[in-house]
Structure 1
Amino acid sequence: MTMVNQEESLLLYLNEAIATTRSKEALFKIVTEKLRLIFPFDVILILTVDQEGYYKRVLLRDYVSDLDAAAQEPQPLQRTPWRGTPVERFLADAHVRTLALPELIRDFPDFAMFGFLRNLGIACLTAVPLRTGGQVIGLLCLASRRAPDFRDSDLALLEKIGSLVAVAVSNTLAFEEVERREREKTMQLAVNNALLSIKERTELFRTVATEINRVIPCDFFGVRVQKQGVVKAFAELAKQPDGTFAVLDPNRWDHVPEYQAMQAEAFELFFQPAIYNGADYGRLAEQYRLMRHIRAKHAAKSMIAAPLGITNEAAAALILARHQGGDFQPTDLELLISLAPQIALAMRNLFAFEQIETLRAQLEQERTYLIAEINTTGHFEDFVGQSAVMQQVQTRIAQVAPTDTTVLISGETGTGKELVARALHNLSPRQGRALIKLNCAALPAQLIESELFGHEKGAFTGAHDRRIGKFELADGGTIFLDEIGELPLDLQAKLLRVLQEKEFERIGGRRVIHTDVRVVAATNRVLEDEVAAGRFRADLYYRLNVFPVRLPALRERPEDIEPLLRHFLERFTKQLARPVRGLRERDLRAMQHYGWPGNIRELEHVLEQAVIVSSGAFLEFAGFSGATVPAAPALPDHVPLKTLRDQERDHILAALHRTGGRVSGPHGAAGLLDINPKTLEARMKKLGIRRTVGVEG
């Protein structure tokens, strides 16, 4: 076969391959292998250029080493400005020519490709312009370790081959563009479907990150929200070795003040469209602590940010980052910006949906709580009494109720501390929201924290679901902490934080929850003594004792006993559907002289039982399991009075005797005395009373 026939055969073969082969890899393999049969070269390189002044490598094949050339060559596979590069020199004189590599390195010492070729032992470079439609669209470069001896016919053949390769490159780029647009359309459709159908935040952004990654590979996906000058992570996901995305806790840094400051410093980076690659990202890392933190923790080397406009009150941005692979391109940013309206709409819907769910859960919790309160709580109208000491109490309630000041109510058991708390709430601007009550002595110490602050699902054994705590439930309203003196010391510190900072965290949670709650506390202990004994924190005591209200014992206001009796008799007569019966004067005097260790609560129970058991014209207070009201204690002066401790002890013993020694349960002494069983057991232990009825410890 003559040389002319051989050249024509080569051109026909290449032309047929270009017309029938769609795979870029297969096509370039055919072209390079056929070229090597005629022209000796060791490395082949194909570059494309565009009218905007950029070039991009589409092929690099190394026949010198066994290594993957793309892995050796430091130049990234992306659009790069050709101004000031050897590409500009070749384009300025667009004809086939051979140049010595040492001369090129002398003129362009920083051009990474030349250093790569030198390491392979390359001596010269032959550049062939790729022309199609009268325009140069790129360069075919044949690199050799020995200088080639090209004849004029060889150069002419290379010009023809360059035209054929130009067609192949144009076709390949066109096919890739079609495929890219199809991938983008598929991705956009998948993202839109997810945004419209998925309402749960975690699953929504995992799906969106997965779909975007198919077109714009990334190692990190994040959404940041700026509201009132504060930048916070709304969603963060990191790619795992298997290619899936794991959701990171977006609130994991919120409680770290330094990280919040770093977020604020880098505010401008997220909320304007930008690409930060390579050296640009390195400069950011030098300028911003947040970028240094991300680079050190995640080895990030490039970042892209696309703003998402949401509302006038909040702005958001979508951020992608890579720690491997090529840099982000302007087309990537354009694609993300095209997705911004749909993502912003989905985020607005998500905000609204989550807010509705939060309010629904809170309202359901309040409804459940208030139903229980209606069924179990006393009535405010029971707050009866015109004695001087009670008028003073009512004055203090009226003074402090309209404020948000913390109130500490002190008084013996049964004096009406909960009624005062309810009055403070009902007379305050918070009356439209719930009054949430927690008895600090009613639960084991390990459960009080969960009751106060709530817990996340799985926070501890038995935490099968998320629980909303009393402080979260009382947001906007009032929380009443009864028997605050029983609160364990470790929880006293956490309560102090809520009082000081107005924030807390659920058990097992990382998100800081802010709360607007008015605190009313009550105790039957002398907290000053508890502080002195080391059982109560002094700083918490001073935080609670901002406005003290002391309730007098019933024995301190005997003039109120008669109106209280009339009030309870009227209520129980109607409630129990019993006929109206009279009250003997001797019984009234006896009650006015009785010490009432159980105070108003004891008086209420005495009257209720009297209404139930009486059958004649007058109420009977004796004749059932022992006398409820003792005879009037008109004791001679020489007979000593019992101490209050002994009086309380006798009263508890009488209750135990009546219940057969039973402490808890529907027929136990605790129910009879209307106190918590745990509280009663604590009082029994303190007073030396054993469970066996009538046997003193």
Structure 2
Amino acid sequence: MPNQEESLLLYLNEAIATTRNKEGLFRIVTEKLRLIFPFDVISIVTIDTEGQYKRLFLRDYFTDLTIPSRHNNRNLRHPIAGTPTERILLDNKIQTLDLQEVAKEYNGESPFNYLIQQGVRFMTVVPLRIAGTSLGVMCLASRRHPHFEPADLSLLGKIGSLVAVAVSNTLAFEEVAQREREKSIQLAVNNALLSIKERGQLFHTVATEINRVVPYDYFGVRIRYRDGTHKAFAEFGKQDDGTFAPLDPDRWNEVPEYGQMEGEAMELFQHPAIYGDESFRRLSDKYRLMRYIAEHRNTRSLLIAPLWVQEDQTAVLSLSSKEEGNFDETDLELIKGLVPQITLTMQNLFAFEQIESLSAQLEQERTYLIDEINTTANFGEFIGQSPTIQPVLTRITQVAPTDTTVLISGETGTGKELVARALHNLSPRRDRALIKLNCAALPAQLIESELFGHEKGAFTGAVDRRIGKFELADGGTIFLDEVGELPLDLQAKLLRVLQEKEFERIGGRRVIHSNARVIAATNRVLEDEVAAGRFRADLYYRLNVFPVRLPALRERPEDIEPLIRFFLEGFTKKMGKPVRGLRERDLRAMQQYSWPGNIRELEHVLEQAVIVSTGPFLEFAGFSAAAAQASPPIPLPDYAPIKTLRDQERDHILAALQRTAGRVSGPNGAAVLLDINPKTLEARMKKLGIQRTVVAS
């Protein structure tokens, strides 16, 4: 027998010294042990350096025992205090336990109950110590009571010392390997965080790399708001083949009261923690959300690592597993070590995605503006082929490619801005800006600042430097709408810019040069304004280099029908309204109406008709009343004299003034009724010899 013992010990010693594979080594140990000591189960349990937690190191079966999987989980850490393990370690000797007696001592709550249920009654415990330090115990469990002679116990003690060395070596190797894996995973995750910019691909890589060291079934980065609502930033689930696939962020929509369930569990996500086995079951009892994922997702353990906790939101990284007690403190520490870099990456992703979104929005706006310009300023989009409008289009075509200053005149609503855009779009300057300024839309004291800019502190309220319109239009085109409304002192400064191509900002001393093409527009009769002393003659001649006069709509009745078709098509599409018919009588009425507001008035009438109409035809009740009040022309016999356009316009203005008791401006004035600028109306009255006092009397 001594020779056999010596041979066995030498064999085990050599195996321990040469075998690096944990499973292979302990297979040899268990096979040799069973030749001498019969048992049904062998297990090795290790304890941490503080002696507070135990952990399953190895278990092997040699019979038909069926042990629940949670009792085979080597990652699960159990506290020792108050357990049979605590007593065994204190005794520090080889002993055989009657498991039923142990269960009685612990009120039936013994961790050995699952063995007792399988008929296993006895367990021989061999302490594992090395250099005076306890590593744990080796347990040999059997259905029959073992009978050990003193020599057997001596041999078990020697084998225990060898196994302790093997366990110590294996733990050291595993720790080194674990540290290497952790470093590897940290490097791989950091490389992914630094190199991948697309959110889905980035976190898919992160989930895959972490899974190599900490296996799990779910990876999620979610943002939870204080009101209980949530947003999935990145979520992946493990597939049957072991790879990860993104989860549907809307999968919770079908869960009743999910929002309340999320809010109830909010406190869980404030602190890093692991939950498994009993601790997870307690969560399931307390929180409906945890109970739901346990029942419907088969979740049994959870790891939570907050990325940031703020007053209004919490971002959390969570891992879950279908295995009980899948995570331990080492796993949590690994994940916590990745939190700062993941947090920084998320913030960068937020910023990057916001920039991408803004860029996309700006590109859409740019595309929209280009389309708008091309639509409104493309020559093919001018509606009308009447003999009156054709010469105007020809003049625009002739002057557009040049840098010549253009003065566009015409009544309100005739399309002066449309012409200005066409002139710019058809010019070599079309790739630069078209800067617009309505000279009648601002107080006189602000127009100069708008035109030429100002320096900080130039006047009260000038808290910053302002770049003027002429400076912005350098290399492009500036469109001065309602130029007849400019005050006389600004007319002189504008004249200098036209002559010298230079100016100074208000409060500035530096001369600024501007190569901007000038297009001006007015609904006033500037010749009359010059005669009245309200407009500088030299500025008028500088602006009127190439005049383009837009005819009033009443001068081009042939274009009314195509304009109607154009506007109706646009409004029905824009409002999602059905296409309705246009009665012949309504078309004739529109062709006979004088249209004091011109194309703009026509557009408004049609827009209103599209909104209010419900039947098969468009309804023009409001227009019909206005047209009747404006006394539309009655067809005259062929021999009757026809009024001139001048007389027709004079009668129309007189009718409006008659209704307003001679009032021109203000909310109840004739200008509002005619949809025309009051100053333009006054100029027309002067030209036509109409006096308000005569009308009022």
TM-score (norm 1): 0.56
1:80 match? 78
2:367 match? 368
Contact in 2 for aligned 1:440/1:486 (Cα 8 Å): no
Cα offsets for 1:203-258 (capped at 9, x unmatched): 11111111111111111111112456553221111111111111123355579994
Pick aligned residue for 1:214 from 189, 195, 212: 212
Letter in 2 for 1:82: I
What pairs up with 1:256-295 in 2 under 5 angstroms? 258-295=257-294
Letter in 1 for 2:304: A
Residue aligned with 1:215, SS? coil
2:242 match? 243
* Higher deviation after alignment, 313-322 or 338-347: 313-322
Contact in 2 for aligned 1:233/1:251 (Cα 8 Å): no
Pick aligned residue for 2:194 from 193, 196, 202: 196
What pairs up with 1:189-588 in 2 under 5 angstroms? 189-226=187-224, 229=227, 230-250=229-249, 253=252, 258-309=257-308, 315-324=314-323, 326-377=325-376, 384=412, 482-483=574-575, 485-486=577-578, 523-525=607-609, 527=611, 530=614, 555=627, 586-588=644-646
**Identical aligned residues as a percent:** 51
Contact in 2 for aligned 1:231/1:264 (Cα 8 Å): no
1:534 CA drift (Å): 13
1:83 CA drift (Å): 1.3
Letter in 2 for 1:586: T
Contact in 2 for aligned 1:254/1:260 (Cα 8 Å): no
1:470 match? none
Q: 1:155 to 1:306 in 2, by over 3 A?
A: same
Letter in 2 for 1:164: L
Residue aligned with 1:217, SS? coil
1:120 CA drift (Å): 3.5
1:521 CA drift (Å): 13
Pick aligned residue for 2:44 from 43, 46, 49: 46
Cα offsets for 1:371-405 (capped at 9, x unmatched): 1212333899988279xxxxxxxxxx99xxxxxxx
Report the count of equivalent residues. Answer: 441
> Does 2:198 match 1:171?
no
Cα offsets for 1:648-669 (capped at 9, x unmatched): xxxxxxxxxxxxxxxxxxxxxx
1:615 match? none
1:569 match? none
Residue aligned with 1:235, SS? strand
- Cα distance in 1, alignment partners of residues 129 and 616 from structure 2: 91
- Cα distance in 2, alignment partners of residues 193 and 559 from structure 1: 81
Q: 1:117 to 1:265 in 2, by over 3 A?
A: closer
Q: 1:521 to 1:40 in 2, by over 3 A?
A: farther
1:332 CA drift (Å): 1.2
Residue aligned with 1:525, SS? helix
Cα offsets for 1:168-215 (capped at 9, x unmatched): 011111111111111111111111111111111111111111111111
2:183 match? 185
- Cα distance in 2, alignment partners of residues 443 and 354 from structure 1: 35
Q: Structure 2, unaligned stretches of length 5 or more?
A: 383-407, 415-440, 443-565, 581-603, 634-641, 653-697
Letter in 2 for 1:347: M
- Cα distance in 1, alignment partners of residues 328 and 233 from structure 2: 25
1:14 match? 12
Residue aligned with 1:338, SS? helix
Q: 1:95 to 1:365 in 2, by over 3 A?
A: same
- Cα distance in 2, alignment partners of residues 154 and 53 from structure 1: 31
- Cα distance in 1, alignment partners of residues 579 and 66 from structure 2: 69
Q: Structure 1, unaligned stretches of length 5 or more?
A: 387-396, 399-438, 449-481, 489-519, 536-549, 562-583, 595-697
Q: Greater CA radius of gyration, 1 or 2?
A: 2
Contact in 2 for aligned 1:85/1:111 (Cα 8 Å): no
1:369 CA drift (Å): 0.4
Contact in 1 for aligned 2:222/2:231 (Cα 8 Å): yes
2:94 match? 96
1:626 match? none
1:57 match? 56
1:73 CA drift (Å): 4.4
TM-score (norm 2): 0.56
Residue aligned with 2:86, SS? helix
- Cα distance in 1, alignment partners of residues 210 and 337 from structure 2: 12
Contact in 2 for aligned 1:123/1:144 (Cα 8 Å): yes
Q: 1:555 to 1:189 in 2, by over 3 A?
A: same
Q: 1:139 to 1:256 in 2, by over 3 A?
A: closer
Q: 1:521 to 1:342 in 2, by over 3 A?
A: farther
- Cα distance in 2, alignment partners of residues 135 and 368 from structure 1: 76
- Cα distance in 1, alignment partners of residues 130 and 409 from structure 2: 97
Cα offsets for 1:482-519 (capped at 9, x unmatched): 4454499xxxxxxxxxxxxxxxxxxxxxxxxxxxxxxx
Contact in 2 for aligned 1:483/1:523 (Cα 8 Å): no
Letter in 1 for 2:77: R
Contact in 1 for aligned 2:207/2:244 (Cα 8 Å): yes
- Cα distance in 2, alignment partners of residues 200 and 340 from structure 1: 19
1:693 match? none
Residue aligned with 1:104, SS? helix
1:160 CA drift (Å): 1.1
Letter in 1 for 2:412: V
Contact in 2 for aligned 1:222/1:237 (Cα 8 Å): yes
- Cα distance in 1, alignment partners of residues 579 and 283 from structure 2: 50
